[in-house]
Amino acid sequence: MQITRYWLPGGIALVGVVLIVLGHAAYSESTSSHSLESATGVALLLVALIVWMINWMYRLSIRSNIEREEEEQARDHFGRTGRWPEDEDPRSQNGAR
C-alpha cells in the first residue's frame, strides 16, 4: 500500500525531475531533443501529481464510508437505548444548544 501511495508518485516525479535536468530546462519553438526531454519531464511531474491525488481521494472515500458506518451504528444504538454510545464526545452532543 505504501508503494502505491508514496513510492509510485515519488518515483514518477523523480524521473520527471531528472528529465528536466537532462533537458537543461530548455524550451524552444523548434523541436529539439532537449526541449522534448524537458517537456516529458514536466508531463511526468503532472502525472505524479495526478497519481498522488487519485490515491488521496480514494483514501478520503474509504474514510467517509467508515465514518458513515460508525454514524449508522450510533443511530441504531440510540434507537435501542435512547442515548448515544458512551464513546461519543460529549461536546458534540451539547454543541447544538
pLDDT tens column, 29-44: 665 667 788 889 999 9
pLDDT recorded at residue 94:
55
Alpha helices in 23-97 (DSSP H): 33-81, 90-94
Q: Quick check: 81 pLDDT over 90? A: no
Rg over CA atoms, the chain? 24
pLDDT recorded at residue 39:
87
Computed over every residue of the chain, the mean pLDDT equals 82
Mark 37-75 as b/e (b = at least 16 C-beta within 10 Å): bbbbbbebbeebeebbeebeeeeeeeeeeeeeeeeeeee
pTM value is: 0.63
Q: Quick check: 45 pLDDT over 50? A: yes
